[in-house]
Amino acid sequence: MCGVIGYVGSKPCARLIFDGLKRLEYRGYDSAGIAVLDHGKIDLVKAEGKLVHLEPRLVELPGGATMGMGHTRWATHGAPTARNAHPHLHGDLVIIHNGIIENYRELKEQLIKSGVEFKSDTDTEVVLHQLHADLDRKGDLKTAIMETVKHLRGAYAIGIIHARDPGKIYVVKQGSPVVLGAGNGENFFGSDALALLPHTNRAVFLMDGEFACLTADSIDVWDFSGKPVRRDPQVLNWSAASADKQGFKHYMLKEIHEQPAVMSSMLSRLVDLKSNSFVDKETGIDALDLGRVKNVAIVACGTAHYAGQIGRYMIEEFVRLPANVELASEFRYRNPCIDSSTLLIAVSQSGETADTLACVKHASERGCQVMSVCNVRFSSIPRASDAVLYMEAGPEVGVASTKAFTAMVLSFYILSLAIGEKMGRMGPQAHARLEKSFDAMRRLPSLVDRAVNAAGVIEEISHKIYESQNMLFIGRGASFPVATEGALKLKEISYIHAEGYAGGELKHGPIALVDRHMPVVSIAPRDSQYEKMISNIEEVCARQGRIIGVGDLEDDRFRSICEHYIPCPQVDDDHLQAILSVIPLQLLAYYAADMRGTDVDQPRNLAKSVTVE
């Protein structure tokens, strides 16, 4: 969850590291620090809170230092204070760490018994002292690292500098993400490629159980037993510009506005709209043995889980196989009925979410085929999967996921149609169904564009609701997960309490919350559930609920029962409509949060990439 970055080369590095941390701040932002090595001496600065508090302290670092590393924290062990901020220094050793050392208590007790005094409450400091002790015993850092990792249980990406071994940074990986960046006469490491993009697009991906030594001119990689590993750099296709705000007030707003382009580029890569066919190599299904598949399990967290719920409806509809969708954090601790006939689909924007990754590993061990739907290339989940559909939606920096959600829904649409067709499970109407779907996909990007550009009316409505304490979101069919996603978006960035319910479920309890103060965002596109949904909305009206409708521009009947109405483009496909219906909810959440003055891109207590369980 934290962000780490390091540099070794010939440029002054304090500012460079700070700028890298800014690109990683979405991973954690409760405290930060930087350490540099210059003329055999380690200097470090740390500050509580966001990076703006660290910036004035950069002048305290030696201007000529050309190697160092930085850290921006999302606290797991120990409060978010300067004392607990990384880097942690002891003697000549300084380290930064992203992850969790699960056995830190027992290691800490042993170290305390041997006379070590701890200066922080972090699990990381245990690694520092263990390494220090192993270095004393073994004499050289590489051997000491191999010794230290034997003691550690948990997940970690660790950067290490030793003042008596200048010009070298060691990077250790087990379970937490870290990428090495190969430059000319300079090398880097970072939690993800975003931080490195302004400097290099050549990345070396360490695997779990490996560590590396970076100098200005070399990158050496070994496994934990000390065996050298050859790993060539991969060229990344993201540009540094794609991770900038490009004039938008927030990343989230920029990412909402990128959705038409994301839909277009996904369609041009994953399907052939001229011949109404699928590009199997890009969808990943050519890597699957579909003959084996008898059931589907979808696992994901948060927004990706809601996309997975819509995916389940699509798999059931187009593939006609039993499909389950579950929170990855629950699935992994049950004893799910999965075997070699199961296709497990893991959905993750970052490709690093710890619980989702654990499900992938667990399912592979149980003989399932694993397919992942991910955004970040070369991340851990795709690497552990048999097949991958890359969304290639570009970097998503805003902590609240927007374009990744719609990209996930489109991925599921394409994937389930392609699998259904390939397995011959779409029935006698297959041809007509596919024609209809391709027609809808052809129209999708321009409809998404219209949805995004309806921002004006949504901003006005946000003025009416942004002071609410509670809100409900309701929908049926694919609009039910859309409702839950709308509620999640609102609560995570505006801190308004919001819940999403299936329209038909309201009268089984939650309708008790409805009174004339309760805004109820009601999603009722003209789909197969329309009539039932309108009845549910009438039930809310009868209890004086304030209806904010999301529906067809021409739907005067629905509009007439709403206090406020958001016209939303319609695509004549129940599943694909979810992509259009969610956009007004993203914008509603965005404007409400902005009006409340919250930190839209970095909401409190959250981090973008959840690499701890």
**Residues 151-210 contacting ligand F6R, CB under 6 A:** none
Which residues share a beta bridge with 235? 202
Residue 400 interacts with ligand F6R (CB under 6 A): yes or no: yes
Number of continuous H segments (helices) and E segments (strands) in the chain: 19, 27
Residue 401 interacts with ligand F6R (CB under 6 A): yes or no: yes
Q: Which of 14, 195, 296, 301 binds ligand F6R (CB under 6 A)?
A: 301
Residue 544 region by backbone torsions, left for phi larger than 0, else alpha for psi between -120 and 50, else beta: left
Q: How far is the CB of 266 from ligand F6R (least distance, A)?
A: 16
Q: Which stretch binds ligand F6R (CB under 6 A): 45-53, 126-134, 135-143, 295-303?
A: 295-303
Of 212 and 373, nearer to ligand F6R (C-beta) is 373
Residue 302 interacts with ligand F6R (CB under 6 A): yes or no: yes
Of 93 and 373, nearer to ligand F6R (C-beta) is 373
Question: What binding mask, one character per residue, do residues 526-545 give for ligand F6R by CB under 6 A, x or -?
Answer: --------------------
Identify which of 105, 41, 90 has the alpha carbon closest to the alpha carbon of residue 68. Answer: 41
Residue 385 interacts with ligand F6R (CB under 6 A): yes or no: no
Q: What are the tokens at 530?
A: 């329309």
For ligand F6R (CB under 6 A), the number of binding residues is 14
281 part of the active site: no
What secondary structure letter does DSSP report for 247?
A: T
Peptide bond into 510 cis (omega under 30): no
Q: What are the tokens at 566?
A: 């958001």
Catalytic residue among 2, 13, 213, 359: 2
What torsion do the CA atoms of 428, 430, 432, 435 make, to the nearest 10 degrees? -170
Contacts of 165 (CB under 8 A, 6+ apart): 141
Are 3 and 28 in contact by the 8 Å Cβ rule? The answer is yes
Phi, psi of 35 (to 5 degrees): -125, 140
Q: What are the tokens at 567?
A: 């016209």
Residue 3 interacts with ligand F6R (CB under 6 A): yes or no: no
Question: What binding mask, one character per residue, do residues 460-499 give for ligand F6R by CB under 6 A, x or -?
Answer: ----------------------------x---x-------
403 part of the active site: no
Residue 31 interacts with ligand F6R (CB under 6 A): yes or no: no
**Tokens 């599943």, residue located:** 575
Q: Which stretch binds ligand F6R (CB under 6 A): 201-209, 227-235, 348-356, 365-373?
A: 348-356
Of 278 and 413, nearer to ligand F6R (C-beta) is 413
Residue 353 interacts with ligand F6R (CB under 6 A): yes or no: yes
Q: Count CA atoms closer than 13 A to 435's CA, side-chain side.
A: 4
Q: Which stretch binds ligand F6R (CB under 6 A): 13-21, 227-235, 342-350, 437-445?
A: 342-350
Residue 348 interacts with ligand F6R (CB under 6 A): yes or no: yes
What torsion do the CA atoms of 16, 20, 25, 31 make, to the nearest 10 degrees? -40
Identify which of 524, 526, 520 has the alpha carbon closest to the alpha carbon of residue 476. Answer: 524
Of 301 and 537, nearer to ligand F6R (C-beta) is 301
Q: What are the tokens at 202?
A: 């050549």
3-state secondary structure at position 359:
helix
Of 18 and 306, nearer to ligand F6R (C-beta) is 306
The amino acid sitting at 540 is V
Residue nearest to ligand F6R (CB): 302
Of 401 and 570, nearer to ligand F6R (C-beta) is 401
Q: State how far the Cα of 150 lies from the Cα of 133, in Å rounded to an integer.
A: 13
Which residues are marked as active site? 2, 608
Q: Which residues here bind ligand F6R, judged by CB under 6 A?
A: 301-304, 348-350, 353, 356, 400-401, 488, 492, 610
